[in-house]
Amino acid sequence: MSVVLHEPGAVADPEPVPSRGGILWNTIRRRPSAAVGAVVLSLVVIAAVLAPWIAPYGLHDQVGPVFGPPSWSHPLGLDDGGIDMVTLLVWGARISLVVGFAATLVSMIIGGAIGVLAGYFGGKTDSILMRITDYFLVIPDVPLMIVVAAIWGPSLFHIVIVIGILLWTSTARVIRAQVKSVRERVYVKRARSLGAGHARIVFRHVLPQVAPLLIANTVLTIAVAIFDETALSFLGLGDPSRVSLGKVIENAFQRAAISSGAWWAIVPPGALVAVVILSCSLIGGALEDALNPRLRVAHVSARTFRLRPLVGRSDSSL
Amino acid sequence: GGSHSKSGGTFRLATSSGIDSLNPYVAFNQDAYSMFEYIYPLLVQYDKDNKQFVPDFARSWTTSKDGKTWTFTTVAGAKWSDGKPLTAADAAWTINTDIKYKGGGAANAAGLIAHIRRAVAPNPTTLVVHYAAAPGNVLGQFQQFAILPKHVWSKHLGHKGADLKTFPNNAPVVGAGPFKLVEYKKNQIALFQRNDSFFGPKPQVDAFGLRIFSNDDAMVSALKAHEIDAIEAVPATAIKTLKSAGFTITQVPGVDQTDFIFNSNPKKKTHRELLNLKLKEAFAHAVDRDQIIRVVFLGTAKPADSIVPQATGWHNPQLKPESFDLGLANKMLDQLGYKRGSGGVRVANGHKMAYDVITPTSVQSTSRTFQIMQASFAKIGVQLRQKALDATTAFDEMSGPNGKYLNFDLALWDWVALIDPDFMLSVVTCAQYGGWSDSGYCDKKYDRMYSQQQLTPNQDKRRALVWKMQKYLYDRRPYVWLATQDSVDALSPKWTGLVPSPQGPFNSLSKVSLTSVHQK
Amino acid sequence: MRGADYVVKRTAFALVTIFVAVSINFVLFRLAPGSAVSNLSRVPHATQELRQALKRQFGLDKSRGRQYLIYLEQLTRGNLGVSFENEQPVSTNLKTAILNTLPMVALGTLFAIVVGTLTGVIAAWRRGTPIEGATVTTALGFYSMPTHWLGLMLVILFTGILPTGGMTNDFLINPSFWTHARDVLSHMVLPSLTLGLVLFGEYTLIVRSAMLETLGEDYILTARAKGLRPWAIIRKHALRNAMLPIVTLVALSLGYIVAGAILIETVFSWPGVGRAVYDAVLNRDYPMLQGAFLFLTISVVFFNLVADLLYYKLDPRIT
Amino acid sequence: MSAVGAPLLDVDDLVVRYPVPRGLIGLLRRRPQLAVHAVEGVTLVVEAGELVALVGESGCGKTTTAQAVLRLVDPLSGSIRFQGDDITQLGMRALRPLRRRMQIVYQDPYESLDPRLRVQATVEEPLLIHRMGGSKGERASLVSDALARAGLSPPELFLDRFPHQLSGGQRQRVAIAAALVLDPQLLVADEPVSMLDVSVRAGVLRLLEELKASGLGILMITHDLSTAARFADRIAVMYLGRIVEEGPAGEVVRNPQHPYTKALLSVVPRRDPRMRRRPQILRGETPDAVRIPSGCRFHPRCPIAIDVCTTEDPSLRRTDSTQSPHHRAACLLA
Amino acid sequence: MTALLQVEDLHVWFDLQDGGELHAVQGVSVGVERGERLGLVGESGCGKTTTVLALMGLLPPSASASGRVLLEGTDVLAGGEASMRPHRWSDVAIVFQGAMNALNPVRTIGSQIVEAIELHGEAGGKAARAQTGELLESVGIPAARASRFPHELSGGMRQRAAIAMALSCHPKVLIADEPTTALDVMVQAQILELLDSLCRDFGLALILVTHDLPVVAQLCDHGAVMYAGEIVERGLVDTLYHAPRHPYTRLLFAATPDLGHETEEIVSIPGAPPRLDQPLVGCPFRPRCDSAFEPCATSRPLLRRVADRHAAACHLNDRPSQAPG
Ligand SMILES: Nc1ncnc2c1ncn2[C@@H]1O[C@H](COP(=O)(O)OP(=O)(O)OP(=O)(O)O)[C@@H](O)[C@H]1O
Ligand SMILES: Nc1ncnc2c1ncn2[C@@H]1O[C@H](COP(=O)(O)OP(=O)(O)OP(=O)(O)O)[C@@H](O)[C@H]1O
Ligand SMILES: [Mg+2]
Ligand SMILES: [Mg+2]
């Protein structure tokens, strides 16, 4: 018998496939919190990128008295060097973001690589890499950052490296778990049974699948990196020649801004850090929520299903 | 004592540094030495103005002709706080112990007993000290030398004197100063009680407490909240608000000077143009001391010009800070033939005049100072880059490799001078390579002058020599001195009588400050 | 016997981790340029003799390998060495610092665990309502604030109302226990609150997502089908399962608390272990640093082990 | 180079075991290393143009057998011959050209396609992996051919779709097309339809039937005897790592020899409500593959077991009551 | 006489993330009498589970429902979740799809059963535990296993435990949602046999949800075939097999291979069910139907009575000459 087999018609209407960018975009579109985060973060990033053009004064120009109060020309007052606070915030955001992004890049590269290797190869590779990760997980990281920053000297580059080196563990774990599950997917097995090389499988099948999670993790890591930079700066281990937001806080703190009544030197930079971190967390959290199918249905909730008025259509006689 | 004022009460003082150890063989912090001043007998102390030596445990002293033997008459009938007699024998024992263990447990005190052969106490009120050579600063040294109770410390000579360092000397400490240390919590508080058996003038307060803060804001708010009565180093930014809140602010010249350091090692490998005295002079004219004082110190500092601060009384009055004159500086550099290259940066010996300036992160003021200098140096075609390092690393970098001072170019740091100029003058001697030297300066002629002043017991002659040395250094500029910070203290309106000093009211110069402080 | 293997394995791993940590710490601190001696001997009357004496005393004249062996040997005897700074046993210094830190940290953590768990559960239970939005936003807000900055904000808000610095305000000689306790407690409020608020944010978020994950499980639907009331389901079925991730994360965060304590202790002049670490770094006080790191690592490893064992207790699936 | 007349696939006495982790304490106490006896001496032949169904309970070793045949797990002993060549010991590199000739289709059509790749890319991938198919254009035509063979025509309608835009049946067809594109001789289908809705199962099964007719050898794993009976040429019934009955499909279904086969057949529900029968239900769960019972491995659950069954392990052999010479069972009492 | 459990005109919608709505159940009416066994069959995604959840009031918050669920004449859906709660388990109990996850992994089997018994005041303390033991024995699990955790039992055992739990409060209706999916053939047979005997012994009404027609044929007396959120045919299983009145029913049977019919042509129904997040025009089955004609494209057929205890939703039934079957 030779029936020609057709599966005509009735194919579900093609809908756009969520691409990697798509997931980010969709999440931002659908969740107001993520949208707020994205808008705020973009504003800060734009301001930071445009710092040289939009900063009202020079970063090193003493334009008034030490801790000059807010005025028309200096809406947020002056810092302990008589420098305009708005200028400092714009430039500070720039450095903080650079540190955040760069350190995250470092941690993504290390964490991503280790996570993929451990998850993909499993076995001994996995246990060795995970033991290393575990070790990094238990070292108290802020103290270690202090030590390393003290040893290497406080430069922006070192801070980026140190933060990056300490932050990769969570990335590695998240990625490893995801890779492990992707590795067991049938299409990966199939590719392997076809004789595909590891590189091909990793780059063509595993990484794209892990990418959305990596993005979510990246956004969250940026927040942590910025936080850590602020902490390091506060402890005097920041790069003194670069004005980051943490540095601005530290300068004000060291010069007793609070007791001299100069709240404007200390409140705005911290608030800006908080806003940036909050935005990252909102986006990252929403992405993680969106990517975690287990969060979608809660079988018990304060809200219950709704009742609609009766429609009445079919007859129910038997 | 004995005034009409209210006596008694506890005087509470805040400090931001703190006492690191109660053991004189271990302690390094200034506050620890200030504490020893108040709990241990010393042979002499400075007077109220820190100019003259006045009696403390030693009532009087004489010098032999050759200057090699000093004889002190000490207080009779003095007692340690535990009731045991305090005699010249305790002093002799302390000196001899330090000599014996100067390479080990007592190394910390070795500098103070330099040149001493031995000390003897022929009777309870006489102390005779024999020197190998006649030194010029005997009283200056003894002013820092705490006499320890033999009956306590002689039990801690084990392990070839190493036990001297491991003895914690916990509170209550057996001492014989105007106060007894009764309680001590590291990084928190030290509590002193009046010692009624003290041989000298008794404090008017019942007790005195030192509270340690790790940040200035907390300290200032504690003062405002009347949790404490005084601050010994007021942050400049807080002066205005404290004044308006009714606190008494006292501001006197201090001994902490910021300096711009040139690596002056003649054997320096690179950037040798920085050894050129004309260039150093040009650089000195590019420093805007006024702006530094205005921005960094908010006016609580004076322009500096010499390695010896004015407040010590040994400053050479003929020296004046270089004028801030960018035109002059530019002209001088032009004359030296350093042409401006791309970006307006001058070129010397085929390379851009762009230099790293090492700044220690522990000295807060250096960053702002650097920024100001960087801006003005840019105008004379010299590019400065900040290289901030923590103090240990910074010093390593400067003295490296192996204490040879070959690599670094410039640095910003500060020096806290003692009253006697000997120490400050010593830091630029060749002998201090790898030790105190932070400029790599080494000059045989200067070293000769230095030894000479050390062995000049006549104080007038010594002063002339010290002035000459200051001028000599001023011309050769291992340092360009930027500013001398004032010592600023704040006192609650309820209190009065606190005596300021270049080291602050709680100092190791004399006991006068806390013995005379009292409630209004 | 269920899980003996698990327990042995976790414990062995914990011990190995500590050993590795100890060794790496040793190496790490010796990578630093400059030594305690170059730092310590910078006093006005220091001499070359003093430098040599200090080197000998701290064993810095020996080879690194020897120093390491000596260090290990001493460690096994429970000797953490002598602090370079004040020549007192590191253990004594550490003990003081830890005893100062503990109550402050414990108070803050307790606050965070109690409030965080409660709000986390409520947020999960009120999923999709404005209450969840408000709770999550508040939590995220606190979570996002730099710890030290939050501390400083509290200082600004509470100056004059509560003490903002130090651990005691008390210059009395031998104060009564209650006076002292009240004094310390009033000083503890702000630092603990700072820590508590930061952690509260974190815990709320963790508890919420752990709860949500659990509430999505099929057995919750079963429980509901059985007719259990929502709160009974949460208490009897959801919380216990949600505890699993919570326990791990809380244990992990307990270890990091000390790190946070550095910032808080700096802001509030609290003489605790965070300050001790920080000062030790600046003073190149290796023995102290090694001791402090050992303590920190052990506490993280310990809390992790506790978490593992609790896990084992809570989750019968672990073998 | 393959031996003339040799079967397409010839598996002889295949044994596969998975070690059971001992744990730290076990290791320290030197407990014996245990193993899951997943496959314990399977002998099986698949000819070109033949569809062999491997049936049995969950965990009896069907998938393991399939994977061992494809050399995706390493057998402990036994031999696997493909077109007469022994491939049991071949290394990874030597296996590569072979992989082309034997392909596998997995159970879950929802999982077996990369959700991010379009149909075109999925089907083309095997060509890229094996660097075959020449130019881009040539590859495209090979892909279209494969899709058409898999019943997805016209192929242009499907090339640009993503898996989620396909129905379950279509996905499984794409998976089959991806297996066909390399023009294999052997297709192993591990429960190809069990995740599909009944309404589309037949389509996929008929596709396999057609492929078989075109000369492909197919080893189909299933737990559904009705499907096996309808579509397979031969049925092999597996129990606890061993084939206990094997023969032409009709024979096995109509005239089962082994009590296990009988029981299996009796529990298959019939679609006609009037055909209700009392199923012969075996008590107890599938036994533990770590501790295989002595003697006949089926004896603990066997309704007709006698004493000798506990000691003697029967081998697969022809029984008296069978009609076909190829019908064999491993039962002492058959 | 009022039916034991009667669902009338049930609709369920789910809110979708992108703001749309999915009409998962589109007017289902079905009922069971005491001791009756109803099989609910249909392809994946046709709304079987949703129907069952709705009649227990277990829908998620993102759902909204309309219609009536009458339990012995009282509408238990009208008051939402609250009105249903007292009836859960004591009147209607359910065994979920995939019992692996339906039991709390950190509590013992026994405690989960005891909990239900105590909650509904059946018994308390010792008595409840004793009753649990009996229940477990009755589903073929030794009573001693009550102290085991779910993961310590095999899949079949867990499913039995879930059934025991469902029986713990002597419900009148037992709903079993795909109780044998993911189980082995032999275990499936055991479970089906167990359900069969339990229904007989306890006089339970059973609603068996499955996509496996033969299972329904073997176990149930009534069948309801669902397609795209609605019931397209319902009646006695015997009628459904021998005289179907909807092409879908007919094709479903024809697509199921059967022992003893090895040579029979097995059909496959082309295409796939329609999307439920868009409004349906005409007969939902039309694109896949082999006997569609003009009205099917435009008008949606209603479920109509076609014979005694037999209803179907097909336009063909309006033309007596062309009855599908
Ligand atoms: N990778 C593995 N490691 C250890 N044991 C395994 C592994 N794969 C399978 N097993 C075990 O080997 C035995 C046979 O498994 P296999 O998957 O071959 O069975 P199956 O017949 O395909 O079952 P199913 O019908 O459930 O797919 C089972 O006991 C299984 O638990
Ligand atoms: N929580 C939900 N949110 C949105 N859509 C849902 C939800 N639950 C189910 N659906 C959709 O409702 C429809 C009916 O689903 P349901 O689970 O009732 O089908 P089913 O017949 O039980 O299928 P299966 O045989 O696969 O279990 C499906 O299209 C499904 O995608
Ligand atoms: Mg299998
Ligand atoms: Mg379902």
* Chain D residues with beta carbon closer than 8 angstroms to that of E157: 285
| Closest residue by Cα to residue D76 from D32, D102, D103, D42 | D42
Task: State the CATH number of the domain containing residue D18.
Answer: 3.40.50.300
Question: What pLDDT does residue E324 have?
Answer: 56
Point out the least confidently predicted range of A131-135, A243-247, D86-90: A131-135
Tell me the CB-side half-sphere exposure of residue B247, using CA atoms within 13 A. 29
Q: Is the CB of E14 under 6 A from ligand 2?
A: yes
The count of CB pairs under 8 A between chains D and E is 126
- Residue C298 to chain B, least CA–CA distance (Å): 24
Q: Is the CB of D222 under 6 A from ligand 1?
A: no
CB A87 within 8 A of CB A145: no
* Chain E residues with beta carbon closer than 8 angstroms to that of D168: 44, 272
Q: Is residue D178 part of a domain?
A: no
Give the percent of chain C with pLDDT over 70: 88
| Closest residue by Cα to residue B389 from B416, B377, B407 | B407
Point out the least confidently predicted range of B347-351, C168-172, E104-108, E261-265: C168-172
CB A179 within 8 A of CB A130: no
Tell me which residue has its CA closest to atom 3 in ligand 2: E14
| Number of neighbours of residue C126 by Cβ within 10 angstroms | 18
On the question of pLDDT at B2 being above 50, the answer is no
Q: Which of A7, A10, A193 has the CB atom closest to D104's CB atom?
A: A193
Nearest CA in chain B to A62: B295
* Identity of residue D6: A
User: Does residue D176 sit in helix, strand or coil?
Assistant: helix
Cβ neighbours of residue A6 under 8 Å, at least 6 residues apart? D151, D153, E270
Q: Which residues of D158-172 are buried (b: 16+ CB within 10 A; e: fewer)?
A: bbebbbebbbbbbbb
Ligand 4 ion local residues (Cβ < 5 A): E 49
Instruction: Tell me what the mean pLDDT of segment A35-58 comes to.
Output: 91
Q: Which atom of ligand 2 is nearest to the CA of E42?
A: 21
Predicted confidence band of residue C193 (pLDDT cuts 50, 70, 90): very high
Question: What pLDDT does residue A3 have?
Answer: 32
Question: What pLDDT does residue A6 have?
Answer: 38
On the question of pLDDT at A14 being above 50, the answer is no
Question: What pLDDT does residue A98 have?
Answer: 92
The C-alpha atoms of residue D285 and residue E325 are separated, in whole angstroms, by: 41
Flag whether B touches E (3+ CB pairs, 8 A cutoff). Answer: no
Q: Which residues of D19-34 are buried (b: 16+ CB within 10 A; e: fewer)?
A: eeebbeeeeeeeeeee
Question: What pLDDT does residue B494 have?
Answer: 92
Question: What pLDDT does residue C259 have?
Answer: 67
Question: What pLDDT does residue E12 have?
Answer: 94
Interface of A with C in 127-156 (CB under 8 A): 131, 134-135, 137-144, 146-148, 150-151
Count of domains forming chain C: 1
CB B482 within 8 A of CB B10: no
Mutation for testing the E interface, residue in D197, D239, D262 having most E CBs under 10 Å: D197
Kindly state the tokens that stand for A183: 């590795």
On the question of pLDDT at C153 being above 90, the answer is yes
Question: What pLDDT does residue A16 have?
Answer: 43
Cβ neighbours of residue E235 under 8 Å, at least 6 residues apart? E222, E223, E245, E307, E309, E310, E311, E312
Which comes out higher in pLDDT, residue B470 or A171? Answer: B470
A238, A242, A243, A244 alpha-carbon torsion, rounded to 10°: -50
User: pLDDT tens, E32-51?
Assistant: 998 899 999 998 889 999 99
Domain residues for A204?
100-293
Predicted confidence band of residue A1 (pLDDT cuts 50, 70, 90): very low
Q: Which of E29, E57, E80 has the CB atom closest to A314's CB atom?
A: E29
Q: Which atom of ligand 2 is nearest to the CA of E60?
A: 1
| Number of neighbours of residue B427 by Cβ within 10 angstroms | 19
Q: Determine whether the interchain pair A314/E9 forms a contact, defined as Cβ–Cβ distance below 8 Å.
A: yes
User: pLDDT tens, D176-195?
Assistant: 899 888 889 999 999 888 88
Which comes out higher in pLDDT, residue C24 or C257? Answer: C24
Q: Is residue D128 part of a domain?
A: no
Q: Is residue A38 part of a domain?
A: no
Question: What pLDDT does residue C42 have?
Answer: 53
Q: Is residue A70 part of a domain?
A: no
Q: Is the CB of D58 under 6 A from ligand 1?
A: yes
Instruction: Tell me what the mean pLDDT of segment A296-314 comes to.
Output: 72
DSSP classification of residue E275 = P
Tell me whether residue E114 is exposed, middle or buried, using C-beta atoms within 10 angstroms of its C-beta: 0 to 12, 13 to 18, 19 or more: buried
Q: Is A202 on the interface with D (CB under 8 A)?
A: no
Helix orientation angle between C64-76 and C4-30, rounded to the nearest 10 degrees: 140
Q: Is the CB of E98 under 6 A from ligand 2?
A: no
Q: Determine whether the interchain pair A9/E29 forms a contact, defined as Cβ–Cβ distance below 8 Å.
A: no
β-sheet with E37-42: strand ranges across: E92-95, E173-177, E205-210, E37-42, E222-227, E230-236, E310-312, E304-307
Q: Is residue C181 part of a domain?
A: yes
Instruction: Tell me what the mean pLDDT of segment A112-121 comes to.
Output: 91
Count of domains forming chain D: 1
Question: What pLDDT does residue B433 have?
Answer: 83
Q: Is B188 on the interface with C (CB under 8 A)?
A: yes
CB B15 within 8 A of CB B233: yes
Which residue is listed with tokens 């300050």?
C275
What is the B79 CA–ligand 4 centroid distance (Å)?
Answer: 96
Question: What pLDDT does residue A13 have?
Answer: 41
Question: What pLDDT does residue C51 have?
Answer: 67
Q: Determine whether the interchain pair D25/C4 forms a contact, defined as Cβ–Cβ distance below 8 Å.
A: yes
Q: Which of E61, E80, E303 has the CB atom closest to A301's CB atom?
A: E61
User: pLDDT tens, B205-255?
Assistant: 999 999 888 888 888 888 988 889 999 889 888 898 899 999 999 999 999
Count of domains forming chain A: 1
- Residue A198 to chain C, least CA–CA distance (Å): 31
Question: What pLDDT does residue C47 have?
Answer: 63
What is the E98 CA–ligand 3 centroid distance (Å)?
Answer: 18
Question: What pLDDT does residue A219 have?
Answer: 86
Domain residues for C148?
91-283
The C-alpha atoms of residue B463 and residue B455 are separated, in whole angstroms, by: 12
Kindly state the tokens that stand for B130: 């024999």
* Identity of residue B101: Y
Predicted confidence band of residue D21 (pLDDT cuts 50, 70, 90): confident
Question: What pLDDT does residue A5 have?
Answer: 35
Nearest CA in chain B to C167: B188
User: Does residue D63 sit in helix, strand or coil?
Assistant: helix
Question: What pLDDT does residue D287 have?
Answer: 76
Q: How far is CA C116 from CA A292, C133, C169, C202, in A?
A: 22, 15, 31, 8
User: Does residue D185 sit in helix, strand or coil?
Assistant: coil
**Backbone phi, then psi, for B193, in 5-degree steps?**
-115, 150
User: pLDDT tens, C257-299?
Assistant: 666 788 898 888 888 888 888 888 777 777 788 888 888 888 8
Question: What pLDDT does residue B330 have?
Answer: 94
Interface of A with C in 252-291 (CB under 8 A): 253, 258, 263, 266-267, 269-270, 273-275, 277-278, 281-282, 285, 289
What is the D301 CA–ligand 2 centroid distance (Å)?
Answer: 39
Q: Is residue C195 part of a domain?
A: yes
On the question of pLDDT at A272 being above 50, the answer is yes
Cβ neighbours of residue D261 under 8 Å, at least 6 residues apart? D237, D244, D245, D252, D329
Q: Taking all residues of chain B, what is their mean pLDDT, rounded to a whole number?
A: 89
On the question of pLDDT at A18 being above 60, the answer is no
- Residue C152 to chain B, least CA–CA distance (Å): 9
Predicted confidence band of residue E62 (pLDDT cuts 50, 70, 90): confident
Q: Which of C217, C222, C227 has the CB atom closest to E85's CB atom?
A: C227
Which comes out higher in pLDDT, residue D30 or D63? Answer: D63
* Identity of residue C261: A
Q: Is residue C203 part of a domain?
A: yes
Q: Determine whether the interchain pair D202/E257 forms a contact, defined as Cβ–Cβ distance below 8 Å.
A: yes
CB A77 within 8 A of CB A264: yes
Q: Which of A10, A308, A310 has the CB atom closest to E272's CB atom?
A: A10
Q: Is A237 on the interface with B (CB under 8 A)?
A: yes
Q: Is C237 on the interface with E (CB under 8 A)?
A: yes
Cβ neighbours of residue A227 under 8 Å, at least 6 residues apart? A273, A277, C144, C146
Task: State the CATH number of the domain containing residue A278.
Answer: 1.10.3720.10
Question: What pLDDT does residue E322 have?
Answer: 56
> Cα-atom radius of gyration of chain E, to the nearest Å?
20
Instruction: Tell me what the mean pLDDT of segment B4-10 comes to.
Output: 72
CB A272 within 8 A of CB C138: no
Predicted confidence band of residue B35 (pLDDT cuts 50, 70, 90): very high
B244, B250, B256, B260 alpha-carbon torsion, rounded to 10°: 50
What is the D289 CA–ligand 1 centroid distance (Å)?
Answer: 9
- Residue D80 to chain A, least CA–CA distance (Å): 17
Q: Is residue C152 part of a domain?
A: yes
Q: Averaging pLDDT over each range in B17-21, C80-84, D268-272, D285-289, which range is the top one?
A: D268-272
CB C57 within 8 A of CB B162: yes
The C-alpha atoms of residue E184 and residue E190 are separated, in whole angstroms, by: 10
The C-alpha atoms of residue C25 and residue B97 are separated, in whole angstroms, by: 38
Please provide the DSSP assignment of D78-144 as one string: EEEEETTEE-TT--HHHHHHHHHHEEEE-S-TTTSS-TTS-HHHHHHHHHHHTT-S-SHHHHHHHHH
Mutation for testing the D interface, residue in C1, C2, C5, C319 having most D CBs under 10 Å: C5
Nearest CA in chain D to A184: D111
Q: Is residue D123 part of a domain?
A: no
Q: Which residues of D259-286 are buried (b: 16+ CB within 10 A; e: fewer)?
A: bbbbbbbbbbbbbbbeeeeebebbeebb
Q: Taking all residues of chain C, what is their mean pLDDT, rounded to a whole number?
A: 82
Q: Interface pTM (ipTM) of the complex? A: 0.83
B401 upstream amide cis, omega within 30 of 0 = yes
Question: What pLDDT does residue C216 have?
Answer: 84
User: Does residue B189 sit in helix, strand or coil?
Assistant: strand
Instruction: Tell me what the mean pLDDT of segment C234-255 comes to.
Output: 80
Predicted confidence band of residue A174 (pLDDT cuts 50, 70, 90): confident
Q: Is the CB of E44 under 6 A from ligand 2?
A: yes
| Number of neighbours of residue C69 by Cβ within 10 angstroms | 12
On the question of pLDDT at C87 being above 80, the answer is no
| DSSP helix, strand, coil percent of chain C (3-state; round to 5) | 75, 0, 25
Question: What pLDDT does residue A2 have?
Answer: 31
pTM: predicted TM-score of the whole model, two decimal places:
0.84
Q: Determine whether the interchain pair B368/A81 forms a contact, defined as Cβ–Cβ distance below 8 Å.
A: yes
Q: Is D197 on the interface with E (CB under 8 A)?
A: yes
| Number of neighbours of residue C76 by Cβ within 10 angstroms | 7
Q: Determine whether the interchain pair D126/A194 forms a contact, defined as Cβ–Cβ distance below 8 Å.
A: yes
- Residue C36 to chain B, least CA–CA distance (Å): 8
**Backbone phi, then psi, for E301, in 5-degree steps?**
-70, 140
Kindly state the tokens that stand for E281: 């025009």
What is the D32 CA–ligand 3 centroid distance (Å)?
Answer: 28
Q: Taking all residues of chain E, what is their mean pLDDT, rounded to a whole number?
A: 88
Cβ neighbours of residue B316 under 8 Å, at least 6 residues apart? B306, B308, B466, B467, B470, B471, B474
Domain residues for D291?
9-101+184-329
The C-alpha atoms of residue B53 and residue A291 are separated, in whole angstroms, by: 79
Give start and end residues of each alpha helix (H) in B44-153.
88-100, 138-142, 150-153
Instruction: Tell me what the mean pLDDT of segment E190-205 comes to.
Output: 88
Q: Is the CB of E61 under 6 A from ligand 2?
A: no
Q: What is the largest CA-CA distance in chain C?
A: 83
Task: State the CATH number of the domain containing residue C241.
Answer: 1.10.3720.10
Q: Which residues of C90-102 are buried (b: 16+ CB within 10 A; e: fewer)?
A: bbebbebbbebbe
What is the E210 CA–ligand 2 centroid distance (Å)?
Answer: 14
DSSP classification of residue B251 = E
Q: Is the CB of E35 under 6 A from ligand 2?
A: no
